[in-house]
Amino acid sequence: MKTIDLHVHSNFSDGTCKPEELVDLAIEKGLAAFALTDHDSVGGVESALAACEQANAPLQVIPGIEISTDYEGHDIHIVGLFVDYHNEELVQKTRLFVERRENRNAQMVENLQKAGIDITMEDLIAGNPDMVITRAHFAKYLISHNVVKDVKEAFAVYLGEDTPYFVPRAMMKSTDGIKLILQAGGIPILAHPMHYKLEEDMLRRMIQEFKDAGLVGMEVMYSNHSPEDDIFVAKLAKEYKLLPSGGSDFHGSNKPAISLGSGRGNLEIPYEFLETLAAYGNYPI
């Protein structure tokens, strides 16, 4: 069976692999296609497409993005597939996202400095060259400098939402994220719906609101799903007439337990998912 991965990150967000390395890895694993869906960025898409063309292998790279959005105080992620990564409004918005992230990182550094921790943005950047700095990199720094013993402690004490050092992100509303993907010619997909741990009635209300705003699909297969989750989410997608999608959420060594294409070892996303999505938007594959 031809398999795919429609949720993949590079070092243009919080992954550790360059787009070109993802292409090599996808070919090595025998994937038929993968979507590059970096957080709030399309910066790596062109490199991935060029590397795929140069490799001349039976692999397709789908231009994508994963937008962090706000729904009633919850951080909800919307994946966009087949986006026009040159779209002016999308590019302008992603530049704004980068600016906001950089401002947030600077504020978090200042907060940690006030807590007596020897940390600077220069140190973080030097230790993570060619990467977008995220809380995962803050955690890595705190561990390497013996401030905490592991990632769990880093988030519990310094980086989590309920700590005094946390700086919330400025995010667009979820329905606006859906509309941004649509106007960029893409297909909006609700990412990992079970990840948010919402009560079922709230989850259903959210899905209906997103559907009304133009949501097209939902990830029904995901690395952290239990078999019961797969069944439940597939049922939801069918009930709300959303097209099925799926992905590993691969981040390289930042999430070492998750492999490209196969997730935690048993993920097999069928090529038919991609065919259905492409047919919906009349995209060539």
| Residue-range domain boundaries for the chain | 3-93+170-281, 101-159
Chain mean position to CA 270: 20
105 three-state secondary structure: helix
The pLDDT value recorded for residue 133 is 85
CB contact set of 277 (below 8 Å; sequence gap of 6+): 81, 82, 187, 216, 217, 243, 245, 283
Q: Which residues pair with 75 in a beta bridge?
A: 70
Domain at 101-159, CATH class: mainly alpha
With b for 16 or more beta-carbon neighbours within 10 A and e for fewer, the 203-236 pattern comes to beebbeebbebebbbbbbbbbebeeebbebbbeb
Strand partners, 184: none
pTM for this model (two decimals): 0.91
Helix (H) or strand (E) holding 274: helix 271-281
Pick the CATH number of 3-93+170-281 from 2.40.50.100, 3.40.50.360, 1.20.58.760, 3.20.20.140: 3.20.20.140
Per-residue pLDDT of the chain (285 residues; tens, 9 = 90+): 899 999 999 999 889 899 999 999 999 999 999 999 999 999 999 999 999 999 989 999 999 999 999 999 999 999 999 999 999 999 999 999 889 989 999 999 999 999 999 999 999 988 877 777 888 889 999 999 999 999 999 999 999 989 999 998 889 999 999 999 999 999 999 999 999 999 999 999 999 999 999 999 999 999 999 999 999 999 999 999 999 999 999 999 888 999 999 999 999 999 999 999 999 999 988
**Confidence at residue 205, expressed as pLDDT on a 0 to 100 scale:** 98
- Whether 13 and 5 have beta carbons less than 8 Å apart is answered as no
Which residue in this structure is represented by tokens 């550790």?
16
pLDDT recorded at residue 186: 98
pLDDT in the model for residue 103: 93
The pLDDT value given to residue 129: 75
